[in-house]
Amino acid sequence: MDLRAAILGLLSWKPASGYDLKRIISDSEIFYWSGNNNQIYKSLIELQKEGLVTYQVQLQDSLPAKKIYSITEKGLAELHQSLLGVPHLPELHKSFLIQMAWAEILSYEEVLSLLEKYEAEIDNRLRMYQAQAARPGNNPERSPREKYLWKRILENLISAYQTELDWVRQTHEELREGKL
């Protein structure tokens, strides 16, 4: 799915400002997006011109006014159509594997150090998702099915990081034991 569909999906959950959308998207593994802030605001303007979203100006004390966007019925129909599209296969871009592919030029200690650093990063990310899964209210829960699906999404992320952690630990252990 593209950024427009992600924005429509988020707005189908709850109204939000452009800043709120940017924060949710950039803080999430689910809403992968590598663009800049201007793309979110550009998409919101386009979605508004197409009648897929509307906004209300919200005044704030001692802060500039902000636009709070909401999805329209036409936007819900557009989101519905995008959800029926053929799912894309996951993109598995792991720059660490490139490092490992050419690690032969590193010393034994450097390879072990690299594995330890990667293990720590993966372990931290795994703990973050486990903590997120334990906290209620971070995800849409408009129905039991939606609650279940978001639970499964988090379980998918946790499983992926657990698998990666198991892999790096096994690689580290086998190299330390001198099996290669």
Q: Which residues pair with 62 in a beta bridge?
A: none
- Please check whether residue 53 is in contact with residue 72, taking contact to mean a CB–CB distance below 8 angstroms: yes
Of 38, 53, 83, the last residue of a domain is 83
**Sign, CA torsion 10/93/163/168:** negative
Residue 34 placed within a domain: yes
Q: Which residues of 9-26 are buried (b: 16+ CB within 10 A; e: fewer)?
A: bbbeeebbebebbbebbe
Q: Are residues 109 and 43 in the same domain?
A: no
In order along its 180 residues, the chain shows pLDDT tens digits of: 688 988 999 999 899 999 888 888 877 767 766 656 688 889 999 999 999 999 999 888 888 888 999 999 999 999 999 999 888 777 777 889 999 999 999 999 999 999 999 999 999 989 988 887 777 767 777 889 988 988 898 899 899 999 999 999 999 999 988 866
CATH number of the domain to which 48 belongs:
1.10.10.10
The boundaries of the domain holding residue 10 are 3-83
- Backbone angles phi and psi of 58, in degrees to 5: -110, 120
Q: Are residues 111 and 76 in the same domain?
A: no
Q: Are residues 78 and 110 in the same domain?
A: no
Residue 78 placed within a domain: yes
